[in-house]
Every structure is written in C-alpha cells, then in structure tokens.
Amino acid sequence: MAAVCQPRRALVEIPAPQPKIAARMRRSYLEILSARLAPSPAPRGRNSATNTKRVQSLDFGAMWSRGIEEQCEKMDEHHTPLSKQQLVQLIRSLILVEQSQEPRILASDLKYLQEDLQLKKTNVYRSIPYSRFGSNRDAHCYRKAYPHLVSFKVSCQEWGQVLLRNKEWDAVLEHTLMAWRYTSELPQWDTVNHNALREQCYSILAAHSLTALQHYHPEPIRGRELLRRLKMAQSHSQSIVPCIQELQRVMGCADDSSMDTK
C-alpha cells in the first residue's frame, strides 16, 4: 500500500518584511565641536545658574579654538614651514585633546587649570617614541611632540589672558608660578632651536606676571612669599627678572607708605 503524502505545515509564520530604518550618519569633528560650542536655550528651574556658567565656559571654548587657529597661523619663524601632513596631525592632536576634556569651566578655579597643564605635559611625553635606537630627544621625537608642545603653549597664553581680563591679579601670579613649574618639566631637546617653545612659554608667563604686578599691591606677608617663589623660578629662566624687580619696587613703595602712616 503506497504511503499517503500529507502537506507539511509551517511551525512558525514568517512575518511580513518591515521597512528599513534610516541609518544615522556619523557626524564630522567640526559638527561635533560646533554642537558642543553652541549655547543651549536657557533652562527653567533652580539649575539655571549652573547652566549659565556652563554656557559661559562653552563660549570660552570657542575663544580657545580661535586661539589655536591663530597659533597655527603664527608658526615659529625659526623652523621650516610644516607640511600638509604635519598640519593635519597638529589639528587632530588638538581636537583629541579638547574632546578628552570636560566642558570648559571658569578660569578662577586654579585646580582645573593645573589639571589642564598636567594633561598637556603628559601628552607631550606620551607622544615621544621610546622604543627606538639613539636619543629620544632628537629631531624625529621633537616632530612627534611638536603639536602637543604648541597645545601647552596655547594653554599657558589663553588662560593667563582670561585671568588678566577678569582682573584677578593674584590668580595671575599663582597661575604663572604653577605654569612655570610645568614648563620647566618639559623635555630638553638635543637641538638648541627646538627649545624655543619652552622659552616662549617663559616669556608669555613673565609678561602676564609683569602686567599683574603693575596693578596689584600685595600685603607684606604675601609679597615676601611671592618674592621668594619668583627668585626660585629664576633658576629655570632669566625671563622672570623684570617681575622680581617690579615686585621689589612695589614692596618698597608699600613699606614707604606704611612708614608715612605711622
């Protein structure tokens, strides 16, 4: 007797095909930065003051980015012009450093400025290849670290200018001494011309301090402390000498005025 073939039943019904969801396109670095730097609408509630500070810090991020562009245009005259590949590496390094940071906060808190300088100095040393023959302070290693050295210099310059605009004279001196120490910890290169960025950082910081001392008259105890620290900074660079002379002049004038009042 022949077997009877029965039709096979489907155990699972196949649903109708669903329409495809439009994939989200990846945003470029410029779109991400513009989204970060764009001021958000004013919120409602008790967190409005905190969000206002956040907007102000993001506005300073735009100013910092413009400072980077100006520094890229004003490259060191002692060096040959950078190639297109080196410029691309410089811009990428600065963007990565900025994306690794939290949103910019007000410059009055020196703790965050110290963390920023520490990060920039760490990036300099991380960029230097150590697994190679020969010196790790030669021209090849300098080219690797150059974008991060420029980023360190821009950080010293921009934060100091912000403190000067806010007329926080004592904070300017503290920032100078703090950044002076980090500058002294940067690598010493085999070629003398490669140490020009270090000297430029010293000159920028000394100019900030001199401007602050022309408007700031510290108390005698504070003045003696600053004078002692400035003389210690002189061992790293002689650029601080005009600041020492200005502080001595200010303290002398303060002592004379105190004598007159007595």
pLDDT at 33: 55
pLDDT at 170: 94
- Residue 69 C-alpha from the chain's centroid: 14
pLDDT above 70 covers a percentage of the chain that reads 55
pLDDT at 74: 54
pTM passes above 0.85: no
For the residues 226-255, what does the mean pLDDT come to? Answer: 90
Structure confidence at residue 14 as a pLDDT band (50, 70, 90) = low
Flag whether pLDDT at 146 surpasses 90: yes
CB 206: neighbour CB atoms within 10 A? 22
Measuring CA to CA, which residue among 100, 213, 94 is closest to residue 155? 94
Q: How far is CA 24 from CA 21, 86, 260, in A?
A: 9, 32, 75
Mean of the per-residue pLDDT values for the chain? Answer: 75
Q: How far apart are CA 62 and CA 65, in angstroms?
A: 5
Structure confidence at residue 118 as a pLDDT band (50, 70, 90) = very high
Residues listed for the chain: 262
pLDDT at 256: 47
For the residues 117-143, what does the mean pLDDT come to? Answer: 88
Residues 55-83: tens digit of each pLDDT: 444 444 445 555 555 555 555 444 556 66
Structure confidence at residue 261 as a pLDDT band (50, 70, 90) = very low
